[in-house]
Amino acid sequence: MGFNGIAAAAGTWELGDLTVNRLGFGAMRLTGSAAFHLGAPRGREQSIAVLRRAVELGVNHIDTAAFYFSALRSANELINRALAPYPDGLVIVPKVGPRRDESGGWATWATPEELRGQVEENIRQLGVDHLDVVNLRVNRTGSIAEHFGALADLRKEGLVRHLGVSNVSVKQLAEAQDIAPVVCVQNRYGIDTRPADSEEVLRVCGEQGIAFVPFFAIAGEGREQGAPATHDAAVTEIARAHGATPAQVRLAWTLHQGPHVLAIPGTGDPAHLEQNVAAAALRLSAADLTRLSSLPSGDPQRLPRP
């Protein structure tokens, strides 16, 4: 099938040899999980319907992870149930690295040797024979060479086609690039949540042709809780002027940061899905962008979460 719906309005980018629309979808919020502060999940059939509708709207880039689960839902299982057999051109991008214990609480980070099992578990849950792209989610301290090297070995074996990294510094990105090509960087970034080095990471990715994929672009300081209940006056006023929602303005601002910038908003609500995807067509003026970019941004120093 083609992916020419409204999600294509923001254009495309290449993840290695895979073409994706810049407006994608994040599956974390479908699960409902105390570990992610998400509360109760939506109904299973509604979550399945949201995934199918996302693809109908042209979404062909889905972010997920085997550790996106709750007592009731698994993101990968929902994706498998909703979309398999997968249409040609659909790119599903799991993350590996963090570990959760049997109760769902956060355990330790995976060792390099344990990453094979995490990759194989994502393959099993999604019902595929390899992963098109896998992101290594890391702690923002220290070397990532051993972990990324382990994934590079799996790439050579054919279990993984392309590699990405998440929550990295410029130094860690360079370290990974010395081992194997990196096609995407998934870091926290938004109008009001830009860590100190985020502009440098964004710039380096653009210079090297690497996709920059912000997470929590809508949620900002709300993180897992979703879109904030209140927005800065500038966001609200610009949204009103465009006949848009504040969340759409946040997504549009994200996509305006460069042709290599992607967006992966997540939701379990069908109406919010339609609004999020429609943000691909929202064009902000230079004055809008300047005003939004001048808003204060936080540099949160918190325990990294996936």
Convert the pLDDT of each residue in 91-130 to its tens digit: 999 999 999 887 778 878 999 999 999 999 999 999 999 9
How high is the pLDDT of residue 129?
97
Average pLDDT value for the chain: 90
How high is the pLDDT of residue 231?
60
If pLDDT is split at 50, 70 and 90, which confidence band does 37 have? low
Top pLDDT among 232 and 95 is at 95
Tell me the C-alpha distance between 189 and 167, whole Å.
10
Q: Once rounded to an integer, what is the mean pLDDT over residues 57-80?
A: 95
How high is the pLDDT of residue 298?
58
If pLDDT is split at 50, 70 and 90, which confidence band does 42 have? confident
Top pLDDT among 147 and 73 is at 147
Q: Amino acid letter at 96? A: V
Q: Once rounded to an integer, what is the mean pLDDT over residues 242-255?
A: 97
Sequence spans of domains, the chain = 19-230+253-282
Tell me the C-alpha distance between 283 and 273, whole Å.
19
Q: Once rounded to an integer, what is the mean pLDDT over residues 26-45?
A: 80
If pLDDT is split at 50, 70 and 90, which confidence band does 40 have? confident
If pLDDT is split at 50, 70 and 90, which confidence band does 219 have? low
CA distances (Å), origin 228, targets 223, 277, 279, 297: 9, 18, 17, 15
Burial 204-222 (b: 16+ CB within 10 A, else e): bbbeeebbbbbbbbbbbeb
Q: Amino acid letter at 243? A: G
Q: Once rounded to an integer, what is the mean pLDDT over residues 289-300?
A: 80
How high is the pLDDT of residue 265?
96
Q: Which CATH class is domain 19-230+253-282?
A: alpha beta
pLDDT tens, position by position, 170-207: 999 999 999 999 999 999 999 988 888 999 999 999 99
How high is the pLDDT of residue 221?
47
Q: Of 73, 260, 80, 81, nearest to 164 (Cα)? A: 260
User: What is the residue-wise DSSP string for 44-68?
Assistant: HHHHHHHHHHHHHTT--EEEEETT-
How high is the pLDDT of residue 71?
84
How high is the pLDDT of residue 264?
97
Q: Which residues does the annotation mark as catalytic? A: 68
Tell me the C-alpha distance between 94 and 65, whole Å.
4
Share of the chain above pLDDT 70, in %: 91
Share of the chain above pLDDT 90, in %: 76
DSSP secondary structure code for residue 29 in this structure: G
Has residue 158 got a pLDDT over 70?
yes
Q: Once rounded to an integer, what is the mean pLDDT over residues 276-293?
A: 96
Has residue 302 got a pLDDT over 50?
no
